[in-house]
Chains A and B, each alone.
Chain A
Amino acid sequence: MKRLGGVSAELAAVDGRKRLNMDKVMTVVCFVLLLIIVVIPIVMIIFNAFFNEGKLETQMFVEQVTDGKNLEAMWNTLKIALFATIFGTIMGVFYAWLLGRSDIPAKGLMRALFNIPYMFPPFLGAMAWDMMFNGRSGYINKMLRDLFGLTQMPININSVWGIVFVEVSYYFPFVFMQVVSALERMDPTLEESARIAGAKQRQVIWKITLPLVKPAISAGALLILTTSLAHFGVPSILGYAKGIYTLPTRIYAVIYNSGGSFDGIRQGAALSVMLVVVVALALVLQNKILSAGNYDIIKGKSMRPTLIKLRGAKIPLFLLAILTLVLIVIVPLVMIVLVSFLKAYGLPIEFKNFTFAQYEKVFTANGTIAAIRNSLFVSITAGIVCMFLGTLVAYVVQKIRPKGKGALEVISMLPYAIPGTVLSIGVILAWSGRIVGINLYNTIWIILVAYMARYLSFSMKTSSAALLQVHSSLEEAARVCGASHTESLKDITLPLIRPAMVSGFFLIFLPAMREVTTSILLYGPYTRTLGVQIYSLRDAGMIPQAAALATVAIGIIIILNTIVTKITKDRKGV
């Protein structure tokens, strides 16, 4: 360490003021951008939750926080997030192990297929499950009831458990993907030595494999937890009619119940504070339970681990995996497509009730094409901007390490913990003419600003991880050979982390394409996003038309994803 520090110091001395300046500029740019994108909206929320017309007024806040309905919503939010995290983690780890370390057949294909639930927008999943298992009228419910002569519907998806089920179905890939890649990077000799030392297979899994991938599990579980706490789509589609609220749907309802007055937005801000506190508590709790550690024994090099023979369990487990995929991907997809051909919702799904009219409506309606265009625009722009900004922040935090880097890191990660609904309210408060007359409301830019805040941490994390792997000796070597600081940055560091930057872009672009939580509060006459358009159609009761647009949206997502996989594959080849 001393030696390295010495080199850096010498290099700084060689550079004189220049390096200092460049680093300073980058640091200042970082702080200013984060101030605008992240800090101002958050400050506006806190300010408006406690101050009214410039005066401290806590009465409204106290009223909101002690309101029975709001407390119930908070309880639901916690319950759903907790169970979604537990079940999602178990499911993710199980399938990651099955596909990563066992000799299950068709592994490559299965791996690809298991990434599909990640692409599938959860609120479309909720739509499909509601069509099938709505506690009053689900198509499959009706079928089962008539088949078995029941007096009641067998399954009620419009419940807390229904919400948990749908969230688990589409969130388990968070853990799955993390753990699969950790298993890949794990040094198999560790397991082998345990086996040689006489440990049984079960012991190896519990004592060696699981502890090694614990950081990956923990990271994935954290993602499920925060995503679920902040999620709007699924609880809103499945819970609203039954009066099951979570904090995000409650915030949405409060704003509309008040007829949209400023009071409503302030109440929303108060609830937002409550939601942020819940998220923070959950994060602390999660940290306590799964304190993440870094294990050096996970190497960057890929070694071929010994596969565990499933023997007799091979075929049943293979079938289970296939069944899971069919259940959470194919069945909802088929349902949405079938309903999209219906003349009117509620008619039996029979050929004589089918029509193309819904697709005709979708493609002649004013909003649809615009919605697709809007979504493409904001997700691409947010992806690109965040890719660079996130890398910049990561570089400043990891390599420049200025005073206050901790603050920088926390600020950039804040929106990651702050739900989209809350962010929307902050952005509305900040950018609808209240600060120095900047009014972005009703424009696409307000959605872009919110997306940037929301997704910045994604690209920052990937770039950060990549930068950690680029040892500073590489840059220093270039410097010793006479490269300037800019050159070493351009020729050494950036090329090394470029794959991470690109994957950071797609990590933002794909979820932003199907986003609904943030834009539902921000859209304007010309700026409906794809997610908002589907949500509004469904909300307005035009379910077959919503299903038709959802089918189109899923098509777009599949096409984009195929392109992405192609591009990233090509890249790896180069």
Chain B
Amino acid sequence: MKKLLALLLAVMMVLSVSSAFAAGKVMLYSSMQEAQLQAIEKAFEAKYPDIDMEYYYAGGGKLVTKMTTEAEGDGQIACDLVWLGDPSDYEAFKANGWLLPYVSPETDHIAKEYMDAEGYYTAGRLVTMGIAWNIGLVDEADAPKTWNDLLDPKWNNQIIMTDPSQASTTKYWMAAMMQSEKYGEAYFEALKANGVELESGTTATHNRVADSSYMVGICLDYVSANLIAEGSPIQFHYTTDDVITMTSPIAMIKGCANEENGKILMDFILSKEGQEVLVENNLVSVRDDVEMQVDTSAIAAVNMVVDYNDLGANLQNYLDNFNKIFNK
């Protein structure tokens, strides 16, 4: 028995070590949903069979934690590319000196406002926050249409949102709302007073609406679309004003182990081919030459203007205020 164990042990050791040294690798940290990362992996590896694309999937907050711990450990973040939801995170990454500037040739078809002026990061997709509801509990006509509709007492104790500390998309949305004069802290106090509750992950929030725990949720377009495609009993729409869209940027990591492969993957993700894979998986493309069902110009028309500099400077304050209001 001991021999058997020893053998098993040896096999395990070999297996777990061997995978870490495969040639032609690239590592992506991302907060996207796993199904989409798998779709990208499949398309990418079909085109570049010599490169083994690996990804590490977790919520934005968790990934930032991970990167921080890595950077404070031996100073090297253990991935080649990072792709999160919230552009303001990238301002912090840039300031920390974590990023490697790289302007992909594919950016010819990407609007300048979707890119960092110094070339440190480029939007890889567009993500928009809106309102989702459970189709068994709420009629489409009754569903909240604006952020202020959520303050209606009829939704008392029936709203769920994601904890902004855990998910970068909700953090961005929260910060943008805090920054706005129209909403600000008072809005979140009213939201809390109306019994909004927090869930720890973006997809989890959507599923809480789907499983009828809550009637409505502050939700993301692509996560909702994916769930609807699976048959989940939820529905989603954008708000009719003050739409908050974020540009989910992708960036290279300074000193990364697979710089060349990293660039190849970034080019692929930003290419027409790569963006079409995203659109097939219900994401919104940043390119001007990819056909989609979502009308990005209509969304852009009611977009809320967000001051990036202010976000970069005050993000932590907004988060602290939010946590104070929500008694966290």
Chain A interface (Cβ < 8 Å from any Cβ of B): 69, 134, 136-137, 142, 240-243, 253, 255-257, 259-262, 264-265, 343-347, 353, 361, 364-367, 370, 373-374, 376-377, 380-381, 384, 428, 432-434, 437, 439, 441-442, 444, 502, 524-526, 536, 538-543, 567
Contact = CB atoms under 8 A, between A and B. Distances in A.
B203 A384 contact: no
Contacts of B35: 361
Contact of B200 (A260, A367, A432, A539): A539
A257 B165 contact: yes
A137 B211 contact: yes
B65 A541 contact: no
B16 A346 contact: no
B210 A256 contact: no
Interface string B38-68: 1001000000000000111111011011111
A343 B38 contact: no
A260 B210 contact: no
Interface stretch (B5-13, B104-112, B297-305): B5-13
A525 B56 contact: yes
A380 B12 contact: yes
B116 interface: no
Nearest to B228: A344
B210 A540 contact: no
B197 interface: yes
**Main secondary structure on B side of the interface with A:** helix
Contacts of A384: 5, 9
Contacts of A241: 197-200, 208
The 6 closest A-B pairs by CB, nearest first: A260-B65, A541-B203, A541-B204, A346-B211, A346-B210, A344-B232
21 contacts: A136-B212, A137-B211, A241-B197, A241-B198, A257-B319, A259-B61, A259-B316, A260-B66, A343-B230, A346-B207, A347-B210, A364-B38, A376-B8, A380-B8, A433-B73, A444-B16, A524-B56, A524-B66, A539-B59, A539-B200, A540-B57
B181 to A, nearest CB: 26
Given A69-B328, A243-B328, 6 more contacts: A441-B73, A442-B70, A442-B73, A540-B34, A541-B206, A541-B208
B231 A265 contact: no
Nearest to A68: B327
B11 to A, nearest CB: 9
Nearest to B72: A262
Given A265-B69, A343-B231, A441-B73, A540 B27 contact: no
Contact of B54 (A142, A366, A434, A567): A366
A558 B166 CA distance: 34
Given A373-B12, A444-B16, A256 B166 contact: yes
Interface string B273-308: 000000000000000000000000000000000000
A437 B64 CA distance: 23
Contacts of A260: 61, 64-69
Interface in B129-187: 134, 165-166
Contacts of B230: 343-344
A255 B65 contact: yes
B233 interface: yes
Contact of B59 (A240, A502, A540): A540
A102 B208 CA distance: 47
Contact of A524 (B8, B78, B198, B328): B78
Nearest to B34: A365
Interface in B201-260: 201-214, 227, 230-234
Contacts of A264: 65
Contacts of B204: 538-541
Given A136-B214, A346-B211, A366-B55, A376 B12 contact: yes
B188 interface: no
A545 to B, nearest CB: 8
A264 B64 CA distance: 12
B20 interface: yes
B115 interface: no
B243 to A, nearest CB: 23
B81 to A, nearest CB: 12
A261 B68 contact: yes
Contacts of A539: 59, 200-201, 204
A240 B66 contact: no
A257 B230 CA distance: 32
B19 A370 contact: yes
Nearest to A539: B201
Contacts of A439: 73-74
Contacts of B201: 539-541
Nearest to B160: A241
Interface in B54-106: 54-59, 61-62, 64-70, 72-75, 78-79
A346 B203 contact: no
B233 A346 contact: yes
Contacts of A259: 61, 64-65, 68, 165, 316, 319
B29 interface: yes
A508 to B, nearest CB: 13
